[in-house]
Structure 1
Amino acid sequence: MLSAPVRTLRRLLATTVPLILAVGLVGAAPASATDRDPGGGQPLPGYTVEIPSLAPLVVGGKPTTVRQGVHRHAGYLIEVPARWNGDLVLWAHGYRGQGRVLSPEPPAFGLRERLLEQGYAWASSSYDRNGFDIRSGVLGTRDLADHFGRTVRRPQHTYLAGVSMGGYVIGRSLEQYPRYYDGALPMCGVLGDQTLLDFYLDYNLVAQALADVPAHPTPADYLTNAVPRIQVALGLAGLTPTGPDTTTERGRQLRAITVNRSGGPRPGADAAFAVWKDFLFSISVPTGSGNSPAQRPGQLSTNLLTRYTPNSPVNVDAAVRRVAPENVVQRLLPTLTEVPRIAGRPSAPVLSLHGLGDLYVPFSMEQAYAADVARHGRGGLVVQRAIRTTQHCEFTPAEAGAAWDDLVSWVRTGKRPAGDTVTDPGVVARPDYGCRFSDRDAYAAGVGTRRLYPAC
């Protein structure tokens, strides 16, 4: 499981943190969560806010009320149906890159319409900055919830829903503000926190070791020089999800290691590798001149204690380059940092969705979260569902809508809904794994990557 070696690393290095702080390296950590301008009617310097035009919907014969503005440097959207049931859903958006334009978005997968028809209000923050900045998302989402309570009315129940990095925001929000939120729906979420960056590091270092093309730290010509040589050596250049297997013996070892590090043997895993093999090289290339974790993930990523399976024909454990995190303090601090830890202590019911073949945010994120939650005795608060898709956040309105309805019923009645077991390798490897909650109509229609999986 992807997070196990990291837990060991945390235990080994935990005693070093006080010493690091004592000798003055605390400045390497990001600013504290209290350095926020209490006003913030304008975006931060260098940013602009663009709020999409959102026409009100007609629900029950009456139009909704749409509000928008800038609060604490972040743009926001709020929509309230005429017959509001008193509950609020906060939408947490995913990673937006390093651009300087902030923009909130409505809930995806048909959830905007579903929420309003059911009587829920929703609100969405742009956060006060872009980048892989979970701290901004956690604080911005809570700020917007409070702003809604002041300008509309304090809701009876407050839910979280969101995608990708927004799932990271959700996972940390439930721990940052215990009992503030009543339920959460993270989809394709980074629930394994910093270990996502370790997964990207693993792929590139293992590929380099197997191809005997050392290229760490990542050079500027990585994609045009080292990567093509790696692809030829491993037989990756002509590999497609539905074509013949062009991999060499070492290429097959890379694929097997990647499958194991991303969640273990499971339906569609080989096809998913073919879909994502090139992207996983590109994501390791530093972008721009900034120093954020997204631009320079080496600050936090590590493989010091990782053991790779299978470890033959090449002894990867011995051959791979070992990399320590540059910023140990930020890696280990329990406080709300730019890329914080999720301890696994949810304070409200969580129902998550995740694509089996997603390797941008791999299925192992769900396994890491399940293990952390179980370790803290909170497994009863988490239900996880596997969806047989390969692209990132590839869900249908039926899948997201069913999950939302089940979450709400859980919060209202206390009856825990059904989910998938994610931590039992034997269960995950079954040919029909992920069938229970996948949209069969989407498969029949050949939507997206559904047909990369056998019919259920």
Structure 2
Amino acid sequence: MGPASSGARLAGRYMRRAVVTLVALLALLGTGIPTATARSGPEPAACPAAIATAATCFAGRDTTGAYYSIAIPNEWNGSLVMHAHGGPDLEPADSDPQRSADDLERWTVMVREGYAWAGSSYRRGGYGAEMAARDTESLRRLFVREFGEPRKTLLHGQSWGGNIAAKIAEGFGTDAKSPYAGVLLTNGLLAGGSRGYDYRVDLRVVYQYYCGNHPRPTEPQYPLWMGLPAKATMTEDDLRGRLQECTGYASSPTERSAVQQRKLDEILAVTRIPERSLESHLKFATFTFRDIVHNRLGGRNPFSNLGVRYSGSRDDAALNAGVERFAADRSARRDLSYDSDPTGAVSVPVLTLHAIGDPTVFVEQEAAYRASLAGAGSGGYLVQTFTAEDEHSGLSDAEYANSIAALSSWVDTGRKPTPHSVAASCAAFDASYATGCFYRPDYAPASYASKVRPRPGGTQWPALTAKRAERWRQQGDVGIAP
């Protein structure tokens, strides 16, 4: 029996078993997400419009409380793409029943290419790469139990999901032998948590030096590494108001005061953050930092800016003398590193796709990831591709389709692609998707330190290695609790 007929038979079995449930679900919720809070197996669900007639979709909630969505194309090629989504989403605190359904709608390109697709919402909101890795692997096992073993399983991570997928690629949360045949990382946060947020640490202190309103002098003071106090009531609207008050970032240049323009220019020059993503990065340095520090690390500080030399301002001496300085708690740094830092110890093909102008996860993170694999002796498993795009959350569908096909062919044939061969194969997919191919096969990113100021001397955290990670694991009670 071929993959297509196998997929149709599986879908038909579930349709017959749960037709009454499907009618009830669709009457209650058009997205097809189960409304019950009890843990449930996969039940039929409405597919996104783009694949409504081309696939059968399912939804449920696993034993950890994570909601999930699954799609099996009518013409199934027998392979499965497991998806790790980005974020982290801070709200709601529990698993978001809508998140995996939204992800499926975003990634119908994989289903249109013939792959079954499965994505978890994760068991809770907030930071935790290990938690998300385990929930992704748990969903893969659920898929195998319910629908059978795929011909091969590929793993895809986007944004923070790239960090999660990079950890899974090293066996994090899986059995000794990886069940994943290959990994696709797109616009991935691949430097890991212990250094991947350093530029937001720098933004937090530089912003406060120039603006002095986060917190205001009249408000209770707190160390900036925590983002916010645990019980602070600041909202995103409040933060936007303070950013606007100081820099006028939401106004046209002609509407900003001279003082606002000067402060905005100084902040952007020193932090090297694009103006259009300034608000987003400050939100991460506020609300995500609070989650990491208070909810995941028990109030301990994983961040340091000791020894960092800030430059690009009109008065670097005054800036460096005036910014807040702090050292990381070593145990907090260790736990964040263990949870999220790649060791580079992969043993399956890994293909990356990254927009050169990504304003959220800078393309230089790819250099950090390349160095991790080289240090682990795994560089031969990595192919990196880059495009001239300048967005973070989504790239061309033709490129996604092309990338998953290139990875799948690499797995099947053992022939490693090159950036040039991947770029050349994109046109065939663009004939269907008409979203463009923007590859730059000769591009190589500069070092991570060229974009994100390193933490020098004794405050520089050593790169996580597989041996160090294993030693910490054996010590027990390491990492961020799920």
Q: TM-score, normalised by structure 1?
A: 0.66
* Residue 234 of structure 1, CA deviation: 6.2
Q: Report what 1:277 is aligned to.
A: 278
* Residue 186 of structure 1, CA deviation: 2.0
Aligned residues of 1:106 and 1:124 also touching (Cα < 8 A): no
CA distance in 1, matches of 2:260, 2:70: 50
1:363-374 matches, within 5 Å, as 363-374=363-374
Q: Report what 1:192 is aligned to.
A: 191
Q: Which of 60, 63, 74 in structure 2 is aligned with 1:72?
A: 63
Whichever residue aligns with residue 327 of structure 2, its letter is A
- Could you say if the C-alpha distance between residues 225 and 258 of structure 1 is closer, same or farther in structure 2, counting changes exceeding 3 Å? same
CA distance in 1, matches of 2:235, 2:336: 34
- Which structure: greater helix fraction? 2
CA distance in 2, matches of 1:165, 1:49: 27
* Residue 209 of structure 1, CA deviation: 2.7
RMSD of aligned C-alpha atoms?
4.5
CA distance in 2, matches of 1:129, 1:43: 17
Q: Gapped runs of 5+ residues in structure 1?
A: 1-40, 263-272, 430-456
1:353-372 matches, within 5 Å, as 353-372=353-372
Identity of aligned residues (%): 26
Deviations 1:356-385 (A, max 9, x none): 444433333323222322322333322333
Q: Report what 1:434 is aligned to.
A: none
* Residue 89 of structure 1, CA deviation: 0.9
1:230-269 matches, within 5 Å, as 236=249, 238=251, 251-259=264-272
Whichever residue aligns with residue 277 of structure 1, its letter is L
Which structure has more relative contact order (CA 8 Å, sep 6+)? It is 1
* Residue 50 of structure 1, CA deviation: 12
Aligned residues of 2:95 and 2:123 also touching (Cα < 8 A): no
Whichever residue aligns with residue 322 of structure 1, its letter is R
Q: Which of 62, 81, 84 in structure 2 is aligned with 1:89?
A: 81
- Could you say if the C-alpha distance between residues 154 and 53 of structure 1 is closer, same or farther in structure 2, counting changes exceeding 3 Å? closer
- Could you say if the C-alpha distance between residues 120 and 248 of structure 1 is closer, same or farther in structure 2, counting changes exceeding 3 Å? closer
Between 1:397-406 and 1:135-144, the stretch displaced more is: 397-406
Aligned residues of 2:122 and 2:136 also touching (Cα < 8 A): yes
* Residue 188 of structure 1, CA deviation: 2.4
* Residue 139 of structure 1, CA deviation: 0.4
* Residue 305 of structure 1, CA deviation: 4.1
Q: Report what 2:91 is aligned to.
A: 98
Whichever residue aligns with residue 102 of structure 1, its letter is D
How many aligned residue pairs are there? 368
Whichever residue aligns with residue 411 of structure 1, its letter is V
* Residue 172 of structure 1, CA deviation: 0.9
Between 1:386-395 and 1:137-146, the stretch displaced more is: 386-395
* Residue 235 of structure 1, CA deviation: 7.1
CA distance in 2, matches of 1:71, 1:223: 31
Deviations 1:67-107 (A, max 9, x none): 33222232222222344333211011222323034332365
Aligned residue for 2:285, secondary structure, equals coil
Q: Gapped runs of 5+ residues in structure 2?
A: 1-33, 216-222, 420-440, 452-482
- Could you say if the C-alpha distance between residues 401 and 82 of structure 1 is closer, same or farther in structure 2, counting changes exceeding 3 Å? closer
- Could you say if the C-alpha distance between residues 235 and 51 of structure 1 is closer, same or farther in structure 2, counting changes exceeding 3 Å? farther
Q: TM-score, normalised by structure 2?
A: 0.62
1:4-403 matches, within 5 Å, as 53-55=45-47, 64-73=55-64, 74-95=66-87, 96-99=89-92, 100-103=94-97, 104-105=100-101, 111-112=107-108, 114-175=109-170, 176=172, 177=174, 179-194=178-193, 195-210=195-210, 215=215, 216-217=223-224, 218=228, 236=249, 238=251, 251-259=264-272, 273-286=274-287, 299-310=301-312, 313-315=315-317, 316-326=319-329, 328-333=330-335, 337=339, 340-403=340-403
CA distance in 1, matches of 2:205, 2:337: 30
- Could you say if the C-alpha distance between residues 228 and 121 of structure 1 is closer, same or farther in structure 2, counting changes exceeding 3 Å? closer
- Could you say if the C-alpha distance between residues 346 and 144 of structure 1 is closer, same or farther in structure 2, counting changes exceeding 3 Å? same
